[in-house]
Structure 1
Amino acid sequence: MMKRDFGVAAAGSELVLATSSDEDHPPENIIDGSTETFWITTGMFPQEFIIRFPELISISCVKIHSYNVRRLSIEKSTVKDPVDFEPLAKSELEHYEEQLQLEEFKLNGTRATHLRFVIKSGFHHFVSVHKVTIESTEEVT
């Protein structure tokens, strides 16, 4: 078995929707593989973004690196278009001054074509998402 990260554009994943955009910190920064770059929200809640995978994948774990996120939920879709989302996980994050939050969700092989991340509230008017790691365990043939 081999682990593969579908949280990066290099794996063929795309960021297909984000509810806000700042030209200096665009949503695509979430999937560039770096925690140095980030997407920043515009101050109202909820905020969300959707990542599309190149195919239906089996997800073992999702990690999100963020700042000032208070409440977060993740939903999945298993169809071709980003519709028909079902709840998958939710969390109340801890706040860290001047340090990124790292929240991990074990998903035990949940299958999805899209993940929608909904930031329901923050510790500040603005929150940032730096990186999402989406681990898929694949059979190596």
Structure 2
Amino acid sequence: MTDISAGASIVMASCADERHLPEDALDPSEQKYWVTDGCYPAELVIKLARPSKVSKLRTSTRGVRKFSLHVCADERLDAGGEFKPVFEVELADKPADAAQVESHKVSVKRALFLKIRVESGWGDFSSVHAVSVF
């Protein structure tokens, strides 16, 4: 299984903190991360380097209660591209310093954009430490 996150970029985020930029969610080190601003839902839109088949999503988060994945195959979002829901999941509550590492098998034939939507958190703030797409 090939990690297709390489070459991906963040094209939209519903919130940003100058110390924890949206782009930090794609940093594989997990030392950098994107943090929500306390208003839910919070969204992160990732553009893959090329349209791709997606079979698995791996995330490392903290404080996330519920998140969902949506995909769009259209080349241009501003020309009527539409996101389609793939899944929604509720994560277990863990101590603030414990990572919520999740792997989800999916069957997406073609995607160019992925929307990670943090629907709710276990507290006021939550963070996305890493996103890998296979």
TM value normalised by structure 1: 0.87
Aligned pairs (5 A) from 1:15-26: 15-26=10-21
- Which position in structure 2 is the counterpart of 1:35? 30
Q: Tell me which amino acid in the other structure corresponds to 1:127.
A: S
1:86-121 Cα offsets, whole Å, 9 max, x none, are 000110011111210012210135320110011110
Hey, which bits of structure 1, 4+ residues long, moved more than 6 A?
Answer: none
Shifted more, 76-85 versus 126-135: the winner is: 76-85
Q: Tell me which amino acid in the other structure corresponds to 2:126.
A: V
Q: Tell me which amino acid in the other structure corresponds to 1:90.
A: E
Q: Distance in 1 between matches of 2:29 and 2:45?
A: 18
In the alignment, structure 2 segments of 5+ residues that lack a partner are: none
TM value normalised by structure 2: 0.92
- Which position in structure 2 is the counterpart of 1:76? 71
- Which position in structure 1 is the counterpart of 2:62? 67
Aligned pairs (5 A) from 1:83-94: 83-94=81-92
> 1:4 aligns to what SS in structure 2?
coil
Q: Tell me which amino acid in the other structure corresponds to 1:102.
A: V
- Which position in structure 2 is the counterpart of 1:58? 53
Q: State yes or no: 1:122 paired with 2:121.
A: yes
1:16-40 Cα offsets, whole Å, 9 max, x none, are 0111111111111011212111011
Q: Distance in 1 between matches of 2:37 and 2:123?
A: 11
Q: Tell me which amino acid in the other structure corresponds to 2:37.
A: T
Q: Tell me which amino acid in the other structure corresponds to 1:68.
A: G
Q: Distance in 1 between matches of 2:29 and 2:12?
A: 19
